[in-house]
């Protein structure tokens, strides 16, 4: 009887070890980890120092990343911006690749919300104006829409190495 208990214990232990070392289980765990890494969107921090532009946006607090806001920004970018801008190459206006790494969020928001005054008085906007034949027009955005476009550009810039 004692042998039977020992044999049963050994079999039980072998089963537990075999289940814990199952390569299928380990592969599934690795697969899940890889999927989680792919789904995790890494975005860069905004440029904090530099020209803030001219307009109502004096400071900017970076909030937690929100993919729904980025998606809205992408839609707005397509509708409002792609007539004159491409992300990766110049068109009627400059390419926007890397803009969130070169300009402060305040400057970008003020340009989107206060376009005319920025192109009349802001030295950085004036420098851009000299390089392109047409001037950016007011897009009629509200602050939330401008911020969503900004977040879309920030996510795109995070992909650029």
108-151 pLDDT per residue, tens: 999 999 999 999 999 999 998 888 888 899 999 999 999 999 99
* Integer Cα distance of 107 and 127 in angstroms: 14
* Contact of 135 with 92, CB cutoff 8 Å: no
Average pLDDT on 44-69 reads 88
For residue 122, give both structure tokens: 């802001």
pTM above 0.95, yes or no: no
Place of tokens 């969130």: 100
């Amino acid at each position: 009887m004692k042998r039977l208990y020992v044999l049963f214990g050994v079999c039980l232990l072998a089963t537990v070890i075999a289940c814990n070392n199952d390569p299928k289980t380990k592969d599934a765990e690795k697969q899940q980890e890889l999927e989680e890494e792919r789904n995790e969107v890494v975005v860069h921090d905004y440029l904090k120092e530099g020209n803030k532009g001219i307009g109502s946006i004096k400071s900017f607090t970076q909030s937690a990343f929100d993919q729904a806001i980025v998606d809205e920004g992408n839609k707005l970018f397509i509708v409002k911006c792609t007539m004159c801008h491409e992300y990766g190459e110049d068109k009627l206006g400059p390419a926007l690749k890397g803009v969130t790494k070169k300009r402060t969020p305040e400057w970008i928001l003020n340009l989107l919300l206060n376009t005319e005054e920025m192109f009349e008085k802001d030295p950085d906007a004036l420098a851009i104006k000299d390089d392109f034949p047409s001037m950016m027009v007011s897009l009629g955005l509200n602050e939330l829409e401008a911020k969503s476009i900004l977040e879309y550009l920030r996510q795109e810039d995070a992909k650029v190495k």
